[in-house]
């Protein structure tokens, strides 16, 4: 079984422009991918932080851990078989050009397993 290529920790923001000015402008993190309402910044060769704009972030669900791999289906089956709560089975998301699924970890955090279909994505 192949491991993961990179990690993206997603957070939510009410103002993607201000967030961009902070992470790209002030911290000088290069933007790895602009998806419109979501932007992903490179922190290290395989580590990224992403922000998605939303009107009212839910304070109980403000962090999502995204593990990037070509083997979404394999990892989904492994997690499901191990008894983890399935939030969403593998599917395409045409808006962000990703194939992904969601499960909950033992602490209740949302874990997304995804594969980028966007050719602009540069692997870690």
Please report, for residues 1, 39, 70, 77, 92, the alpha-carbon distance to residue 74 in angstroms, rounded to integers and kept in the order given.
8, 27, 9, 5, 15
Report pLDDT digits (tens) over 41-66: 999 999 999 999 988 766 667 788 99
Between 14 and 2, the more confident residue is 14
Which long-range contacts does 88-96 make (Cβ < 8 Å, 24+ apart)? 92/117, 95/35, 95/36, 96/35, 96/38
- For residue 15 the two structure tokens come to 């103002």
pLDDT at 58: 67
The DSSP code for 73 is H
């Amino acid at each position: 079984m192949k491991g993961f290529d990179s990690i993206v920790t997603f957070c939510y923001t009410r103002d993607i422009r201000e967030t961009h000015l902070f992470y790209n402008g002030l911290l000088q993190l290069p933007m790895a991918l602009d998806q419109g309402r979501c932007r992903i910044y490179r922190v290290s060769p395989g580590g990224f932080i992403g922000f998605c704009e939303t009107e009212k972030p839910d304070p109980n669900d403000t962090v999502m851990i995204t593990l990037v791999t070509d083997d979404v289906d394999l990892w989904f089956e492994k997690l499901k078989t191990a008894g983890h709560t399935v939030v969403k089975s593998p599917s395409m998301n045409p808006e962000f050009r990703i194939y992904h699924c969601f499960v909950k970890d033992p602490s209740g955090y949302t874990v997304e397993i995804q594969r980028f279909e966007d050719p602009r994505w540069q692997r870690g």
